[in-house]
Amino acid sequence: MDMNQQHIHHLQQLQQLKTENAELKNELEFMKQIFDHGDSMIFQMKIMKKGGKRVWINTQTITTKELLELDHTSEVQQLLIEKQSIRYKDR
């Protein structure tokens, strides 16, 4: 490998590391959003998608209307079924 090829290789590695760093920063910012749900227990929180974007939801307090706004998945469908079959609610 000559000097020019090595330089190109190092630039590619640098670009790859910058991309990975940006992705990790985005992931960290998303994970920190769970603190916006301070009244929720961690086991109640799930990551779903709304318009292709990840969002946190509280499976215990989310409404049917809010569930219908999420991207349709089998997990969302299951939550809808559970919400519609609840006979007693302590609120």
Q: What percent of the chain has pLDDT over 90?
A: 80
Q: What domain range includes position 56?
A: 39-91
By the 10 Å C-beta count (0-12 exposed, 13-18 middle, 19+ buried), 80 is classed as middle
Question: Is 49 found in the same domain as 16?
Answer: no
Task: Tell me the average pLDDT of the chain.
Answer: 92
pLDDT tens profile 26-42: 999 999 999 998 889 99
Question: Is 89 found in the same domain as 46?
Answer: yes
Nearest to 69 by CA among 52, 45, 84, 89: 52
Number of domains in the chain: 2
